[in-house]
Amino acid sequence: MSEATLFETDDAAIRPASAPMLDRAAALLKRSSRPILVEGHTDNEGTRAYNDSLSAARAEAVADALVARGVPAARIRTKGMAYLQPIASNNTPEGRALNRRVEILVKAETTETLVGPRKPTLNWLP
């Protein structure tokens, strides 16, 4: 879910502007019956213990939002990752914002199941 920053610094409340992104994620996830892992991530500001708690709260917030949109709670697990897997530099405000994220992983699901079958292509022979 990298379209926009979901969380402010030191916060696990999802920004209201993220609702359309969560709607799209839920629509895709409801097409599958596979287990879902929601991982919460933080930037590197603060202690490890603090970021463990914050990242877990972020994962729970997204899981709750998905359940509210019809994704079965029984399929969802959450995990806080703290700042252990940054995707950007924590040396800039922009990088820290990118690291305040949630990743949604669907176990062993095909792309076709999630987004639909590929449309056939026509091959024209010369």
pLDDT in tens, 39-97: 999 999 999 999 999 999 999 999 999 999 999 999 999 999 999 999 999 999 999 98
What is the reported pTM?
0.79
How do the domains of the chain map onto residue ranges? 3-111
Q: What is the pLDDT of residue 9?
A: 78
Beta strand segments in the chain, E: 36-40, 76-80, 102-106
Q: What is the pLDDT of residue 34?
A: 92
What's the number of CA atoms in the CB half-sphere (13 Å) around residue 124? 1
At the topology level of CATH, where does 3-111 sit? 60s Ribosomal Protein L30; Chain: A; (3.30.1330)
The stretch 1-15 carries a mean pLDDT of 75
